[in-house]
Amino acid sequence: MKHPNTDTIYCLSYPRSGSSWFRYCFAFVTETNTDSNQEMLYHSHTCQNDVWTLQNTYDTKTILLLRNYKEAIFSELNNIYSRNPIAILEKLLRYVKDNPGIVSKNEFKILAKESWDSTEEDVDNMLAAFKIKQYLKDFSTPSFPSLNIEELFPPAAFRSSFPTQFVRVLHNLSVHHYHFALQLKNYYELLEYHDNVASLNPNNALIIRYEDLMQNPFVELDKVIDFMDKNHCATPEQISRYGDRLHILMANITSHKMMSINQYRSQGHMATSYKRDSTHDYHRQMGQKAGLWDKSFLLDTDRVLKNKNPELFNKYLSDYEEKAN
């Protein structure tokens, strides 16, 4: 299939936003296999991947799975630090490789007033650091350090588990700061894409909030069936069957949750908040209790996204904003 395609549904989500559970439910209701990317639903954690891109194309049918950005990002970082800390560096450099714009190497030499006698490796390293800072400047935290090239080449020491004081790491190692900024940018770009689709045609865009999906899956999945009906993604007979299948799913929802969680864990994921998160605030609260971050850091994180686009923040994210007191 050629992408983007107006006849399919694109499901977008930042990692740890409930996509595995959502796709499990979707597959059960529609009797399809979403893991093999069949034509009905395609999922991605970004607006472009190795197979297709949605960038600058907004005439699509899109479902955005949205979770509190602090919960989703802290959970994702916990997974990265626990499984493969060096991925922090790899993700930053991959981002530069996938976004080659801003300046060429020759332009950078002139801009940075670098001697042509500098080695090509030195220039490449400095250019990579320059691009990272430029790409992520809107998502960096002013109180954290600017990128230090010596932490990129060779990479600084990385812990083998989630740092015992995450904020201190952000203060001391700039590469961690910019990796955190990259997570905020990735989250924001998904939200921005959804808003662009909704602005062009509100009927083509649907938000499913993680918190609502976990608390009342019937209501949220019924919205998805209605979304498919309005967008002619299935015949009236199929839509009726999806409704019946949803009732079957709900009749044994606890068992289905366990099957989904077991599949998730079998793929190497942690699912640390499962059965511990009745308020859907597990990672934020546990991080504070463990001293990983404090209130001021959480407020700073809110401020970064709010300053980037106040209108978008107030429209979609204001429920997740920290209370000052």
Q: Per-residue confidence at 113, pLDDT binned at 50, 70, 90?
A: very low
pLDDT band at 174, cuts 50/70/90?
Answer: confident
pLDDT at position 115 is 45
Predicted model pTM:
0.86
Q: Of residues 148 and 197, which shows the higher confidence score?
A: 197
> Using 50, 70 and 90 to split pLDDT, how confident is the model at 270?
low
Say what the pLDDT of residue 277 is. Answer: 54
| Confidence band of 116 (pLDDT split at 50, 70, 90) | very low
Domains in the chain with CATH codes: 9-73+189-294 (3.40.50), 79-184 (no CATH)
Q: Which two tokens stand for residue 107?
A: 């332009």
| Region 5-33 average pLDDT | 92
Sign of CA dihedral 13, 15, 18, 24: positive
DSSP string covering 63-106? EEEE--HHHHHHHHHHHHHHH-TTHHHHHHHHHHHH---S--HH
Measure the CA–CA gap between 160 and 80, rounded to whole angstroms: 10
Average pLDDT over residues 238-249: 97
Percent of the chain with pLDDT over 70: 77
Question: Average pLDDT of 149-158?
Answer: 58
pLDDT (average), residues 269-293: 64
Torsional sign, CA 142, 185, 188, 301:
negative
Q: Note the pLDDT tens digit of each residue in 298-319.
A: 999 999 999 999 999 999 999 9
3-class secondary structure, 48: strand
* Out of 172-176, 244-248, 318-322, least confident range: 172-176
111 Cβ neighbours under 8 A, 6+ residues apart: 103
Number of Cβ atoms within 10 Å of the Cβ of 108: 17
Range 107-113 average pLDDT = 51
